[in-house]
A = this chain, B = another copy of it.
Amino acid sequence: MTHTRTPGRTGPRHPGDVRARIQQVALDLFIEEGYDRTSLREIAERVGVTKAALYYHFPAKEDLAESLLDERIAALDALIGWAEQQPDPDRMRPEFLRRYTAGLHGPGRDARIARFLGRNPLVLDLLPAGRQLRDRIDRMFALLGGPDPSPTARLRRILALLCLHLDDLLPAEPARDEPARRDAALTLALETLQTRG
């Protein structure tokens, strides 16, 4: 038995684990200049290894992107699981939005993954994990609204969730990512969801 470990497992042998650093750098570049325009050469260069080393950790470029989405899918699954256990949907929904935005801006990469998707929406069609993610989004829409929604009610719940992603969808604004802005977004989301027009 050797000390060699599968690169897919967690638990870095040394800090700055290469696999995680590749993910970090790739995420940065995917946000900055787009998934398609980011080459593996560019990622490898910034990490400080060669292109071939990337292929040791990820079989293909798509698998590197998938590994990022998997984290986000797991986070959403946990949240959806919680929501489905709540007995009172009317009390669940506002708390759902609070937990959603809290999870987005807590520790971890979720906030940047959301921005990655906001800047590369076609990834949701392109990758298998993207289609899985879209399935989770649809289930969240279902949770946010009651049965048999009117067109307005349908749009309203979509809009409420979108509120919390304004900064991911818009091109860089001066005031992005400030706590006050996040609070304002949550307030707007709650108001949007709860208005009965």
A binding-site residues for B, Cβ under 8 Å: 33-34, 36-37, 118-122, 124-125, 134, 150-152, 154-156, 158-159, 162-163, 166, 169-171, 175, 178, 180-181, 183-185, 187-188, 191-192, 195, 197
- Please, could you name 24 A-B residue pairs with CB atoms under 8 Å apart, sorted by A? A34-B36, A36-B36, A36-B37, A119-B122, A125-B171, A151-B180, A152-B187, A152-B188, A154-B175, A155-B163, A155-B185, A155-B188, A158-B166, A159-B159, A159-B162, A159-B163, A159-B166, A159-B192, A162-B162, A169-B169, A187-B197, A188-B197, A191-B197, A192-B192
Question: Per DSSP, are chain A's interface residues mostly helix, strand or loop, or mixed?
Answer: helix
Per the bound structure, the CA–CA distance linking A121 and B151 in Å amounts to 26
Residues of chain B with a CB closer than 8 A to A152's CB: 184, 187-188
